Amino acid sequence: MLSSGSVTVRASSLLRPFFRCRSFATMKPSVYVTRPDVPSVGIDLLKEKCNVEMWSECKAPPYDELIKSVAGKNALFCNIADKVDKNVLDAAGSSLKVIATMSVGFEHIDVAEAKKRGIKVGYTPDVLTYAVAELTVGILLATSRRLFEAHREIFNGGWTSWSPSWMCGPSIRGKTVGIVGFGRIGQETARLLKGFGVKQFLYSGRKDHPEASDIGAVRMPVEEMLPKCDFIICALAMSPETKHYFNERLFNLMKPSAIFVNTSRGGVVDQDALIEALEKGKIRGAGLDVMTPEPIPPDHRLLKLPNCVVIPHIGSAGIESRNDMAELTARNILNALDGKPMPAEL
């Protein structure tokens, strides 16, 4: 027990969750947010019970800045561009109780080290599933029907008149679509594509998915699947096991007419092998929302390939999904600080 004048406090009470024992504004827990443009629904929730400090620029704070700013904070609101490693956790010190990332991916966080220190980690699964699946369909169409390539022709003088064979690309109707990584996003993408008259869905993975029968998808080893596919969609999570999963060997198994789409993580693809496959005509084209590095330099080889559509990692950038992600991230923080179960804890 600790005594001060006539006030006696049990030491154990100091360990209670923040909101159950702190009532004055000056005693509010502190949260560091690594972007100023987080949708207001999330920030407003945090400000009701926390002191919120935000990085001032709409890009990742420099590593040294993150280390400096997280010191003494009780919570960190971050995203996939923020590297939260042992050094950051050391700088935060024992006051840090929760890390919440506004993403479904969490490879940027040293989760094992955080757990070792008793720091809770939250993420945002499910709420971005539809948005990413929707964009996957969009980039598949943009690649197969050569939308970006055709758009450029307007400005470089290539559009001179209507021509029967000019800017033609394969339709989705009647084709075979293979999905590698048949989780929430892979399944939702298949559901959306059913309306385009796909002939057959194939998927690879370590287990059967009960949802596959409703979609009409058949599981088979990736080596057997790829030669059968007209479109290959990568929806793999990033992990040490999936790094460079799509490599020269797998690209060599694809049809010369195949189109490859990746909206998961750039690191699951051996990018040099993909570039070679595109340059040598081993595959027809590729559509990428993710790549390495991010952001990609404007003079990168990928951007010089007419048969490669590249967009800047905007898979979850639906207004509704980003609002939901911000709210879920905030609720992960608030619940963790209040000693309640987090809506989405790793």
Closest CA to 183 of 151, 215, 153: 215
Q: Count CB-CB contacts under 10 A for residue 151.
A: 11
Residue with tokens 């029968």: 213
Based on the residue annotation, tell me whether 313 is a catalytic residue of this protein: yes
Angle (deg, nearest 10), helices 319-337 and 129-144: 150
- Could you tell me the end-to-end alpha-carbon distance of the chain, in angstroms, rounded to an integer? 35
Catalytic residue among 209, 244, 300, 313: 313
Cα distances (Å, whole numbers) of residue 333 to 93, 114, 336: 17, 15, 5
**What amino acid is encoded at 270 in this protein?**
D
Rounded distance between C-alpha atoms, residue 156 and residue 186, angstroms: 37
Rounded distance between C-alpha atoms, residue 134 and residue 273, angstroms: 27
Q: What is the DSSP string of 274-285?
A: HHHHHHTTSSSE
Closest CA to 137 of 53, 197, 193, 202: 193
Burial class (CB in 10 A: 0-12, 13-18, 19+), 177: buried
Whether the CB-CB separation of 289 and 313 falls below 8 Å is answered with: yes
Whether the CB-CB separation of 103 and 80 falls below 8 Å is answered with: yes
Rounded distance between C-alpha atoms, residue 149 and residue 309, angstroms: 8
Whether the CB-CB separation of 75 and 53 falls below 8 Å is answered with: no
Rounded distance between C-alpha atoms, residue 82 and residue 80, angstroms: 6
**What amino acid is encoded at 132 in this protein?**
V
Q: Which residues are tagged catalytic?
A: 313
